[in-house]
Amino acid sequence: MDVSHLLDELNEAQREAVTAGSGHMLVLAGAGSGKTRVLVHRIAWLIQVEHVSPMGLMAVTFTNKAAGEMRGRVGKLLGIAPNGLWIGTFHGICHRLLRLHAREAGLPETFQILDSEDQYRLIRRLIRDMEFDEGEFPPRQVQGFINHHKDEGRRPDEIEVWDQGFQASQVEIYRHYQAACERTGLVDFAELLLRTVELLRDRPERLAHYRQRFGHLLIDEFQDTNTLQYALVRLLAGDDNRLFVVGDDDQSIYGWRGARVENVQHYARDFSPLVVRLEQNYRSTGTILEAANRVIDHNDDRMGKNLWTEGEPGEPIRVFAAYNAEDEADFIIGRIEDWIRAGRKPSEAAVLYRSNAQSRLFEQALLRADIPYRVYGGLRFFERAEVKDAMAYLRLVHNRDDDSAFERVVNVPARGIGQRTVAELRQAAGSRGLSLYQAAVALCAEDALAARARKAVGAFITLIDGLAGELTDAELGPAMDRIIQATDLIEHYRGREAPDRVEAREENLTELVRAAETFSQPFEDEQAGLSPLASFLAQAALEAGEHQAEHWQDCVQLMTLHSAKGLEFPLVFMAGMEEGLFPHSRSVEEPGRLAEERRLCYVGMTRAMELLYMSFAESRQLHGQTSFSRPSRFVGELPEHLTESIRPGLTTRPAGPTSPQPEDGLPPLGAQVRHPSFGDGTVVEREGQGANTRIQVHFEQAGPKWLIAGYAPLERLS
């Protein structure tokens, strides 16, 4: 039998994994090492060479898209569709099993899957029915509590209750929630897994059937499995079936949603598999790989591997020290412009960051440069719900007749103003020719609303009028901050969403305050007589109205480091490499978090194919205060011989006798100067000639400023 088509395009380690004989296998697949190819060829090898029926194989991956692509590639290798092969996600396969054996699992045959939002609404209703305070028992928090215990395989009666107060009440809500689901035939995502594990555990004849059928189990992305998924794998494997597990403990970055990186080591301990390391990388340059290896070496308890390539060493990793966040964004977008001018595609460039809130400055700089972009897997900054909510409040404070702003926030956070009351306000506004706000004031004054509605609407009017009175002369940053605090927006999200989502929204609102603080009113707006507040609102609306590039357009990619996993780009920028930002400040306090942050850095670095930049800002503006940060420890873990430091002004163009003096007699690069308003600073950039030369001065207190050299009131200090 000619099997050359199954082996010819594989390297030695890949062939070893694909052709492995009896026993279990652990394939430690490094970034860019061809793990999907190994899985696909392994399935084809089992079917074509070992004559395993496709019905005797179960392959599990983590997305439906990946499962579909894998099935297609297997069919192409075999020349026929692998009918009977079970391939899908854990949730998809469990759903299939439960449909086949619903009655045995204690479910109605017509059971329905409860998505996350429906689950939230059911939990919220139960909290109200049980007369608990939503402030003390936020529905999202309770939802997380229930799903966490389900993922760990625990029913309400199996939870150890260590206090008779808050925790005991959460367990009681879980018990009522489960009863409601049983009564109405509803199954949430975590229940799909838990119910399947219970079915196989409690029905020996059913477990024996599937153990006999699936003699080969192939599991992808094993480092992302949770406790329940590992339990399911152990049940199906039994003592006789062969497990083929592919994973990379160095790329486990989802601990915050239940993934257990230790499952890789538990598998090695429980099954004693043959271990094959896929270390040859087909993506990145030698320099990038060596640097990534040295960074991840600082983590303990690794299975261990060392990525290498037959390709060129490539260029050094560029480390850029920016003066502030704006300087960082300008530098990165400037390099992207250079890349495009050199004939490369915008889509070959990606900007990666730890927090979604960091996207704003890059979006602004790309818009200024007229470079199309997409925020991968997310919304642009001014399109995010929490930003739109806060801006709607600001709009309404500025202009009480803004009906769209009124409708957006009149009941956000919930204050007892329902759709019926809003409909009454709309009817009154339409019939009297008033704005919604004016109609609300009129109906409250006339006692024309029901008592409860009148009280809620009156409180809303008082809130908006009070903010308007406070913010008349306030600067934009403090005004934005005051609105966020006075309206309890953060508490609103905290009561509705999971902690990681709340953290992201809070970061975005902090960035919105910073955007307001640093807003520089365009000259044309000032000439048109717009106030700074009106100008800020106009600019925000214009930015929100600038649509992202379409999916088919060639555009720069902006994304979080978590979103970047599985992707690759010739040019990668890792921004915000500062202690407290990346690694995140909380990672130092929580066990295991720092190691996961380092793995996230490793993932980011190995997205780069040709060029990798890492940047950090010496200072960032937060709530009106300049925050000074140290470079990330991950930058410090880069070997010096693999990096090239880039710094604006002095570092790249030293001052002193070797610096060319300008013939126009104006301050040269590196000159120390003093400005009557901005204080002392250093000349770091020059554009043009003569009296109209523009110079950029980095002031010690005010940061970088562009000035017209011939007219600026500068005193030369050196």
Residue 607 annotated to the active site = yes
Calpha distance 558→358 (Å, rounded): 10
CA separation for the pair 632, 69 (Å, rounded): 38
Q: Which residues pair with 373 in a beta bridge?
A: 556
- Which position among 221, 389, 497, 597 bears the catalytic label? 221
CB-based burial, 502-533: b 16+ in 10 Å, e otherwise: bbbbbbbbbbbbbbbbebebeeebeeeebebb
Identify the helix (H) or strand (E) that includes residue 576: none
User: CA 381 to CA 357: how far, in whole Å?
Assistant: 7
Q: How far apart are CA 134 and CA 121, in angstroms?
A: 13
Alpha-helical runs (H) found in 166-214: 166-184, 189-202, 204-213
Q: Of 332, 315, 316, which Cα lies nearest the Cα of 648?
A: 332
The one catalytic residue in 143, 251, 539, 621 is 251
461's CB contacts (< 8 A; 6+ apart) are: 437, 440, 441, 444
The string of DSSP letters for 43-73 reads HHHHHHTS---GGGEEEE-S-HHHHHHHHHH
Whether 383 is a known active-site residue: answer no
Give yes or no: 65 in active site.
no
Out of 16, 19, 36, 507, the active site residue is 36
Annotate 339-398 with three-state secondary structure: HHHCCCCHHHEEEEECCHHHHHHHHHHHHHCCCCEEECCCCCHHHCHHHHHHHHHHHHHH
Own/partner pairs, 537-543, CB within 8 angstroms, 24+ separation: 537/391, 537/394, 537/395, 537/398, 540/382, 540/391, 540/515, 543/363, 543/364, 543/367, 543/380, 543/381, 543/382
What lies within 8 Å, CB to CB, of 74 at 6+ separation is 40, 43, 44, 47, 82, 85
Strand partners, 112: 186
Helix (H) or strand (E) holding 87: strand 86-88
Active site residue 150: no
* Side-chain-side CA neighbours of residue 151 (13 Å): 18
In angstroms, the CA 493 to CA 386 distance is: 9
**Triad 423, 126, 143: Cα angle to 5°:** 100
Q: Give the integer Cα–Cα distance in Å for 96 and 399.
A: 55
Q: Evaluate whether 60 touches 220 at the Cβ level (below 8 Å).
A: yes
User: Is the Cβ–Cβ distance between 408 and 487 less than 8 Å?
Assistant: no
Catalytic residue from among 607, 610, 620, 621: 607
Which listed residue (35, 283, 400, 505) is catalytic?
A: 35
- Catalytic residue list contains 221: yes
Structure tokens at 274: 């043959």
User: Which residue in 188, 191, 220, 386 is the catalytic one?
Assistant: 220
* Coil/strand/helix, residue 636: helix
Assess whether 220 carries a catalytic annotation: yes
Burial of 28 (0-12, 13-18, 19+ CB in 10 A): buried
DSSP 8-state secondary structure symbol assigned to residue 630: P
Specify which residues 622 forms β-bridges with: 625
Rounded CA-CA distance 188/174 in Å is: 13
Q: In what order do the strands lie in the sheet containing 694-699? A: 703-708, 694-699, 679-687, 672-675, 715-716
Q: Among 283, 334, 291, 289, which Cα is nearest to 644's?
A: 291
CA 628 → CA 438, 478, 581, distances in Å? 46, 20, 12
Query: What amino acid positions are annotated as catalytic residues?
Result: 35-36, 220-221, 251, 607
